[in-house]
Structure 1
């Protein structure tokens, strides 16, 4: 995670996450990166994004660009 210790960050779940356990969590890192992890396996490695890439990803989700993925 870009040299950051995942135990030192505050992880957040979406307010839209259901109770089914299929959630992702995000955390802002000190170096400006955004970390994303599976809430079911918090001890595994997280994926990191730069702020610009994260913003582009969120805009694509809001546009529905990934609606055809299964």
Structure 2
């Protein structure tokens, strides 16, 4: 079952989701946020559960479909 698009993410979960959507690895996200890669993986698991996603790609696809992520804001969007 797919979670409702009005899923409530914490600010940090939103940060992680945006970085996953930008194609960053857990290690890259951890370095950017100053946290451990294992902590990033925990955030990703929480986001997937809240969204009803099966993996990182599905999580990002749902976020785009629900308007939580804008692919035009990615690191290569303006280059």
The structure with the largest alpha-carbon Rg is 1
Q: TM-score by structure 1 length?
A: 0.30
Query: Whose relative contact order is higher, 1 or 2, with alpha carbons under 8 Å and at least 6 apart?
Result: 2
Bigger proportion of residues as helix: 2
Q: TM-score by structure 2 length?
A: 0.27
Bigger proportion of residues as strand: 1
